[in-house]
Amino acid sequence: MKYQLVVFDWDGTLLDSAAAIVQSIQAACRDLGLAEPDDARARHVIGLGLADAMRHAVPDLAPDQFQAMIDRYRFHYLAGDHKLTLFKGVPAMLERLQAAGHILAVATGKSRMGLERALDHSGLRPFFQASRCADECHSKPHPQMLEELLLEFGVAQASTVMIGDTSHDLLMATNAGVDGLAVTYGAHPHDHLLEHRPVACVHSVAELDQWLAINA
């Protein structure tokens, strides 16, 4: 077993939520009479903690509008998050990894409350032994989430892989000294992900599952 610890991002990696996040950011801007970021700018912030994401998506946001922007984003996202679906093949992949003896964890830009809600809605809670969220650690690409998971399980850097759909995930992996594996079906485009030198760049959950079966 090369990778004892397999860490997944959530949005855009396990859950097909990138479009909903983009639309919620844009709707929050409309509510507040702010200029909407285009799809590319809104997609780029996916994976960051909510505070950092709002700052990057709406750089002209005034300090006195910051909390209102977060509140309106949450309103729009939570209104429809129960309708979001996992990418096809995710439960079967996690079941196989768990059966093979891998430790599975989540490192996400979601809040703890948001991740707990998502774990319950998705039915994936039994597969994960630990998780770290952006409101209890530094936001990606800071390595704290991965460093804490390595320490919790006593796993070496060389025995850990971080799987995600954004450059934030891959940079966090690099900063923590672990391998990063990119998926292209989420928020960030293929060419942008390749710039960060992942150990592999896969285009579907089926391809991810196959890569892990062979290489992990």
Picking from 179, 155, 201, the residue whose alpha carbon sits closest to that of residue 5 is 155
Question: Which of 44, 74, 57 shows the shortest CA–CA distance to 135?
Answer: 74
User: What span, in angstroms and rounded, lies between the C-alpha atoms of 100 and 112?
Assistant: 28
Report residue 189 CA to chain centroid gap: 15
Going from the C-alpha of 10 to that of each of 29, 96, 109, 154, 210, the distances in angstroms are 24, 18, 8, 23, 19
Annotation marks residue 16 as catalytic: no
∠ CA 128-131-136, rounded to 5°? 165
169 is catalytic: no
> Quick check: 125 and 119 in contact, CB under 8 A?
yes
Cβ density class 175-185: b for 16+ within 10 Å, e for less: bbebbbbbbbb
Bridge partners (DSSP) of residue 210 are none
Q: Residue 26's closest CA among 57, 47, 63, 4?
A: 57
Choice among 9, 165, 169, 209 that is catalytic:
9
Active-site annotation holder among 11, 81, 165, 179: 11
Sign of the Cα torsion 31, 34, 36, 41 reads: negative
Q: Which residues are catalytic?
A: 9, 11
